[in-house]
Amino acid sequence: MKKFIAATLATTALAVPAFAQEVTEFRIGILGGENAQDRMNNYACMQEYTTEALGVETKLFAPADYNGVIQGLLGGTIDMAWLGASSYAATYLQNPEAVEPVLVKQNLDGSIGYHSIGFARVDSGIESLEGVQGKVFGFGDPNSTSGYLIPSIEIPQTTGATMESGDYFGEVKFTGGHEQTIIAVANGDIDAGVTWADAQGEWEDGYNSGALRRAVDAGLVDMNDLKQIWISNVIPEGPVVLRADLPADVKATMTELVDTLYERDQECAYGVAAGDTLGFVPVTHKTYESIVAARQSVIGN
Protein backbone atom coordinates (compact mmCIF):
# COMPACT_ATOMS: atom_id res chain seq x y z
CA MET A 1 0.00 0.00 0.00
CA LYS A 2 2.86 2.41 0.88
CA LYS A 3 4.59 1.63 -2.41
CA PHE A 4 1.34 2.31 -4.30
CA ILE A 5 0.81 5.67 -2.58
CA ALA A 6 4.38 6.72 -3.31
CA ALA A 7 4.09 5.62 -6.91
CA THR A 8 0.72 7.32 -7.30
CA LEU A 9 1.99 10.58 -5.86
CA ALA A 10 5.02 10.46 -8.12
CA THR A 11 2.88 9.73 -11.16
CA THR A 12 0.38 12.42 -10.20
CA ALA A 13 3.12 15.00 -9.72
CA LEU A 14 4.30 14.40 -13.27
CA ALA A 15 0.88 14.04 -14.85
CA VAL A 16 -1.11 16.85 -13.26
CA PRO A 17 0.02 19.62 -15.63
CA ALA A 18 -1.01 17.59 -18.70
CA PHE A 19 -4.32 16.56 -17.19
CA ALA A 20 -5.06 20.07 -16.00
CA GLN A 21 -4.81 21.33 -19.57
CA GLU A 22 -7.32 18.75 -20.78
CA VAL A 23 -9.83 18.16 -17.96
CA THR A 24 -10.83 20.49 -15.16
CA GLU A 25 -12.86 17.90 -13.25
CA PHE A 26 -13.76 14.22 -13.47
CA ARG A 27 -17.33 12.99 -13.01
CA ILE A 28 -18.27 9.46 -11.95
CA GLY A 29 -21.86 8.26 -12.35
CA ILE A 30 -23.33 5.66 -10.01
CA LEU A 31 -26.30 3.58 -11.16
CA GLY A 32 -29.53 3.70 -9.18
CA GLY A 33 -30.97 0.78 -7.28
CA GLU A 34 -30.20 1.76 -3.71
CA ASN A 35 -30.20 4.76 -1.40
CA ALA A 36 -28.29 7.63 -3.02
CA GLN A 37 -26.25 8.42 0.11
CA ASP A 38 -25.20 4.77 0.43
CA ARG A 39 -24.05 4.83 -3.18
CA MET A 40 -22.04 7.99 -2.56
CA ASN A 41 -20.48 6.50 0.57
CA ASN A 42 -19.44 3.33 -1.27
CA TYR A 43 -17.69 5.41 -3.94
CA ALA A 44 -16.10 7.99 -1.62
CA CYS A 45 -12.80 6.13 -1.63
CA MET A 46 -12.86 5.94 -5.43
CA GLN A 47 -13.50 9.67 -5.53
CA GLU A 48 -10.40 10.30 -3.40
CA TYR A 49 -8.19 7.98 -5.46
CA THR A 50 -9.36 9.62 -8.69
CA THR A 51 -8.66 13.13 -7.44
CA GLU A 52 -5.20 12.00 -6.37
CA ALA A 53 -4.47 10.26 -9.67
CA LEU A 54 -5.74 12.99 -12.01
CA GLY A 55 -5.01 16.04 -9.92
CA VAL A 56 -8.44 17.53 -10.58
CA GLU A 57 -11.66 17.63 -8.57
CA THR A 58 -13.73 14.46 -8.79
CA LYS A 59 -17.50 14.62 -8.47
CA LEU A 60 -19.93 11.76 -7.86
CA PHE A 61 -23.39 11.68 -9.41
CA ALA A 62 -26.08 9.31 -8.13
CA PRO A 63 -29.23 9.90 -10.24
CA ALA A 64 -32.54 8.46 -9.10
CA ASP A 65 -32.67 5.95 -11.95
CA TYR A 66 -30.42 4.16 -14.43
CA ASN A 67 -31.40 6.48 -17.26
CA GLY A 68 -29.84 9.42 -15.45
CA VAL A 69 -26.40 7.81 -15.79
CA ILE A 70 -27.06 6.70 -19.38
CA GLN A 71 -28.05 10.20 -20.45
CA GLY A 72 -25.13 11.71 -18.55
CA LEU A 73 -22.69 9.54 -20.50
CA LEU A 74 -24.42 10.31 -23.78
CA GLY A 75 -24.53 14.03 -23.05
CA GLY A 76 -20.94 14.26 -21.83
CA THR A 77 -21.80 15.27 -18.26
CA ILE A 78 -20.54 11.94 -16.82
CA ASP A 79 -17.07 10.61 -17.62
CA MET A 80 -17.08 7.13 -16.08
CA ALA A 81 -19.59 4.64 -14.68
CA TRP A 82 -20.00 0.98 -13.84
CA LEU A 83 -23.01 0.10 -15.97
CA GLY A 84 -25.22 -2.95 -16.02
CA ALA A 85 -25.05 -4.89 -19.28
CA SER A 86 -28.46 -3.60 -20.40
CA SER A 87 -27.58 -0.01 -19.50
CA TYR A 88 -24.42 -0.37 -21.56
CA ALA A 89 -26.51 -1.76 -24.42
CA ALA A 90 -28.88 1.21 -24.14
CA THR A 91 -25.96 3.63 -24.31
CA TYR A 92 -24.42 1.78 -27.25
CA LEU A 93 -27.69 1.59 -29.20
CA GLN A 94 -28.22 5.33 -28.85
CA ASN A 95 -24.62 6.18 -29.74
CA PRO A 96 -22.08 3.41 -30.48
CA GLU A 97 -19.24 5.94 -30.18
CA ALA A 98 -20.21 7.42 -26.80
CA VAL A 99 -18.38 5.13 -24.38
CA GLU A 100 -15.71 2.46 -24.24
CA PRO A 101 -16.09 -0.65 -22.04
CA VAL A 102 -12.74 -1.24 -20.35
CA LEU A 103 -13.13 -3.47 -17.29
CA VAL A 104 -15.56 -5.95 -15.73
CA LYS A 105 -15.98 -7.16 -12.14
CA GLN A 106 -14.49 -10.57 -11.36
CA ASN A 107 -16.13 -12.98 -8.92
CA LEU A 108 -14.22 -14.98 -6.32
CA ASP A 109 -14.15 -18.02 -8.62
CA GLY A 110 -12.68 -15.95 -11.45
CA SER A 111 -15.92 -15.76 -13.46
CA ILE A 112 -17.43 -12.49 -14.73
CA GLY A 113 -21.10 -13.46 -14.66
CA TYR A 114 -24.04 -13.03 -12.33
CA HIS A 115 -27.74 -13.94 -12.18
CA SER A 116 -31.18 -12.47 -11.90
CA ILE A 117 -32.68 -13.92 -8.71
CA GLY A 118 -36.41 -14.34 -8.18
CA PHE A 119 -37.38 -14.29 -4.51
CA ALA A 120 -40.32 -14.17 -2.11
CA ARG A 121 -40.96 -14.19 1.64
CA VAL A 122 -40.47 -17.52 3.38
CA ASP A 123 -43.92 -17.25 4.97
CA SER A 124 -45.65 -16.48 1.66
CA GLY A 125 -46.07 -20.13 0.73
CA ILE A 126 -44.50 -19.35 -2.66
CA GLU A 127 -41.97 -21.99 -3.74
CA SER A 128 -41.60 -21.21 -7.45
CA LEU A 129 -42.90 -18.93 -10.19
CA GLU A 130 -46.04 -21.06 -10.26
CA GLY A 131 -46.82 -19.82 -6.77
CA VAL A 132 -46.80 -16.20 -7.96
CA GLN A 133 -49.50 -16.80 -10.58
CA GLY A 134 -52.23 -14.21 -10.10
CA LYS A 135 -50.14 -12.29 -7.58
CA VAL A 136 -47.99 -9.15 -7.65
CA PHE A 137 -44.53 -9.44 -9.20
CA GLY A 138 -41.91 -6.68 -9.08
CA PHE A 139 -39.23 -5.52 -11.50
CA GLY A 140 -36.64 -2.92 -10.59
CA ASP A 141 -35.65 -0.42 -13.26
CA PRO A 142 -36.55 -0.66 -17.00
CA ASN A 143 -32.85 -0.26 -17.83
CA SER A 144 -31.71 -2.99 -15.45
CA THR A 145 -30.41 -6.24 -16.94
CA SER A 146 -31.28 -8.52 -14.03
CA GLY A 147 -34.11 -6.32 -12.76
CA TYR A 148 -35.97 -6.34 -16.06
CA LEU A 149 -34.39 -7.34 -19.39
CA ILE A 150 -33.32 -10.92 -18.73
CA PRO A 151 -36.27 -11.98 -16.53
CA SER A 152 -38.66 -10.43 -19.06
CA ILE A 153 -37.20 -12.83 -21.62
CA GLU A 154 -36.56 -15.95 -19.52
CA ILE A 155 -39.57 -15.99 -17.18
CA PRO A 156 -42.10 -16.20 -20.04
CA GLN A 157 -40.17 -19.23 -21.28
CA THR A 158 -41.10 -20.88 -17.98
CA THR A 159 -44.66 -19.60 -17.59
CA GLY A 160 -45.67 -19.67 -21.25
CA ALA A 161 -47.23 -16.24 -20.79
CA THR A 162 -46.21 -12.61 -21.19
CA MET A 163 -45.12 -10.33 -18.39
CA GLU A 164 -48.14 -8.08 -18.90
CA SER A 165 -50.28 -7.53 -15.81
CA GLY A 166 -53.16 -9.99 -15.69
CA ASP A 167 -51.68 -12.48 -18.16
CA TYR A 168 -49.81 -14.73 -15.73
CA PHE A 169 -49.02 -12.51 -12.79
CA GLY A 170 -51.94 -10.57 -11.36
CA GLU A 171 -49.94 -7.36 -11.53
CA VAL A 172 -46.44 -6.54 -12.73
CA LYS A 173 -44.97 -3.32 -11.37
CA PHE A 174 -41.69 -1.43 -11.39
CA THR A 175 -40.42 -0.64 -7.90
CA GLY A 176 -37.71 1.80 -8.99
CA GLY A 177 -34.60 -0.26 -8.25
CA HIS A 178 -33.09 -3.35 -6.65
CA GLU A 179 -33.16 -2.05 -3.09
CA GLN A 180 -36.78 -1.01 -3.48
CA THR A 181 -37.71 -4.47 -4.79
CA ILE A 182 -35.98 -6.21 -1.90
CA ILE A 183 -37.69 -4.00 0.67
CA ALA A 184 -41.08 -4.32 -1.04
CA VAL A 185 -40.90 -8.12 -0.93
CA ALA A 186 -39.55 -8.17 2.62
CA ASN A 187 -42.37 -5.88 3.77
CA GLY A 188 -45.04 -7.86 1.95
CA ASP A 189 -45.93 -4.95 -0.35
CA ILE A 190 -45.43 -7.21 -3.36
CA ASP A 191 -45.48 -11.00 -3.44
CA ALA A 192 -42.25 -11.63 -5.32
CA GLY A 193 -39.65 -9.87 -7.44
CA VAL A 194 -36.24 -10.07 -9.04
CA THR A 195 -32.84 -8.65 -8.13
CA TRP A 196 -29.20 -9.49 -8.83
CA ALA A 197 -26.47 -11.55 -7.19
CA ASP A 198 -23.42 -13.55 -8.16
CA ALA A 199 -25.20 -16.64 -6.71
CA GLN A 200 -21.95 -17.67 -5.00
CA GLY A 201 -21.44 -18.10 -1.29
CA GLU A 202 -24.29 -18.41 1.19
CA TRP A 203 -27.90 -17.29 0.79
CA GLU A 204 -27.91 -16.13 4.42
CA ASP A 205 -25.22 -13.57 3.53
CA GLY A 206 -27.05 -12.34 0.43
CA TYR A 207 -24.52 -14.39 -1.58
CA ASN A 208 -21.00 -12.99 -2.08
CA SER A 209 -21.97 -9.87 -4.01
CA GLY A 210 -24.95 -8.10 -5.47
CA ALA A 211 -28.03 -6.20 -4.35
CA LEU A 212 -28.97 -8.79 -1.73
CA ARG A 213 -25.50 -8.53 -0.17
CA ARG A 214 -25.81 -4.74 -0.17
CA ALA A 215 -29.17 -5.00 1.59
CA VAL A 216 -27.78 -7.36 4.22
CA ASP A 217 -24.76 -5.12 4.83
CA ALA A 218 -27.08 -2.13 5.23
CA GLY A 219 -29.23 -4.00 7.75
CA LEU A 220 -32.30 -3.71 5.53
CA VAL A 221 -33.19 -7.37 5.41
CA ASP A 222 -32.70 -10.72 7.12
CA MET A 223 -32.15 -13.30 4.40
CA ASN A 224 -33.76 -15.94 6.61
CA ASP A 225 -37.05 -14.17 5.92
CA LEU A 226 -36.63 -14.62 2.16
CA LYS A 227 -36.36 -17.55 -0.22
CA GLN A 228 -35.14 -17.96 -3.77
CA ILE A 229 -37.86 -19.07 -6.19
CA TRP A 230 -36.14 -18.62 -9.56
CA ILE A 231 -32.68 -18.03 -11.05
CA SER A 232 -31.74 -16.91 -14.54
CA ASN A 233 -29.06 -18.24 -16.79
CA VAL A 234 -25.69 -16.58 -16.29
CA ILE A 235 -25.52 -12.92 -17.39
CA PRO A 236 -22.28 -11.12 -18.29
CA GLU A 237 -21.45 -8.63 -15.56
CA GLY A 238 -21.78 -5.04 -16.76
CA PRO A 239 -18.71 -3.04 -17.77
CA VAL A 240 -16.90 -0.09 -16.31
CA VAL A 241 -17.08 2.42 -19.16
CA LEU A 242 -15.25 5.63 -19.95
CA ARG A 243 -16.51 8.43 -22.15
CA ALA A 244 -14.83 7.76 -25.51
CA ASP A 245 -13.75 11.33 -26.18
CA LEU A 246 -11.80 11.71 -22.94
CA PRO A 247 -8.05 12.36 -23.43
CA ALA A 248 -6.14 9.12 -23.95
CA ASP A 249 -3.92 9.67 -20.89
CA VAL A 250 -6.95 10.23 -18.67
CA LYS A 251 -8.55 7.01 -19.93
CA ALA A 252 -5.32 5.09 -19.37
CA THR A 253 -4.93 6.44 -15.84
CA MET A 254 -8.51 5.66 -14.86
CA THR A 255 -8.41 2.19 -16.40
CA GLU A 256 -5.28 1.40 -14.41
CA LEU A 257 -6.79 2.85 -11.24
CA VAL A 258 -9.88 0.64 -11.38
CA ASP A 259 -7.89 -2.35 -12.66
CA THR A 260 -5.62 -2.26 -9.60
CA LEU A 261 -8.19 -1.08 -7.05
CA TYR A 262 -8.51 -4.49 -5.38
CA GLU A 263 -4.75 -4.77 -4.87
CA ARG A 264 -4.62 -1.23 -3.53
CA ASP A 265 -7.61 -1.21 -1.22
CA GLN A 266 -9.79 -4.27 -0.77
CA GLU A 267 -12.29 -2.42 1.39
CA CYS A 268 -12.78 0.18 -1.32
CA ALA A 269 -13.13 -2.54 -3.97
CA TYR A 270 -15.79 -4.23 -1.80
CA GLY A 271 -17.84 -1.04 -1.69
CA VAL A 272 -17.52 -0.26 -5.38
CA ALA A 273 -18.15 -3.85 -6.50
CA ALA A 274 -21.17 -4.46 -4.21
CA GLY A 275 -19.49 -7.22 -2.25
CA ASP A 276 -16.68 -9.75 -2.40
CA THR A 277 -14.61 -9.64 -5.58
CA LEU A 278 -11.18 -10.37 -6.98
CA GLY A 279 -11.25 -6.95 -8.60
CA PHE A 280 -11.74 -6.00 -12.23
CA VAL A 281 -10.38 -7.48 -15.46
CA PRO A 282 -10.28 -6.20 -19.07
CA VAL A 283 -13.39 -6.50 -21.24
CA THR A 284 -14.48 -5.42 -24.72
CA HIS A 285 -17.76 -4.73 -26.52
CA LYS A 286 -17.79 -8.30 -27.84
CA THR A 287 -18.83 -9.61 -24.41
CA TYR A 288 -22.09 -7.64 -24.64
CA GLU A 289 -23.16 -8.31 -28.23
CA SER A 290 -25.84 -10.78 -27.10
CA ILE A 291 -27.19 -8.30 -24.53
CA VAL A 292 -27.31 -5.54 -27.15
CA ALA A 293 -29.28 -7.84 -29.44
CA ALA A 294 -31.62 -8.88 -26.62
CA ARG A 295 -32.29 -5.31 -25.59
CA GLN A 296 -32.91 -4.25 -29.17
CA SER A 297 -35.46 -7.02 -29.63
CA VAL A 298 -37.29 -6.37 -26.33
CA ILE A 299 -36.99 -2.62 -25.81
CA GLY A 300 -35.73 -1.25 -29.11
CA ASN A 301 -32.98 1.01 -27.78
pLDDT in tens, 103-123: 999 999 999 999 999 999 999
Stated pTM of the model:
0.89
| CA 203 – CA 268 distance, rounded (Å) | 23
Cβ-defined contacts of 70-78 (< 8 Å, 24+): 70/94, 70/143, 72/27, 72/29, 73/29, 73/98, 73/99, 73/241, 73/243, 74/98, 76/243, 76/245, 77/27, 78/27, 78/28, 78/29, 78/243
The pLDDT of residue 18 is: 52
Mean residue pLDDT of the chain comes to 92
| CA 274 – CA 197 distance, rounded (Å) | 9
| CA 200 – CA 206 distance, rounded (Å) | 9
Give the residue from 74, 85, 5 showing the smallest Cα distance to 243.
74
* Lowest pLDDT segment from 17-31, 38-52, 134-148, 268-282: 17-31
The pLDDT of residue 3 is: 39
Residue 253 pLDDT more than 80?
Answer: yes
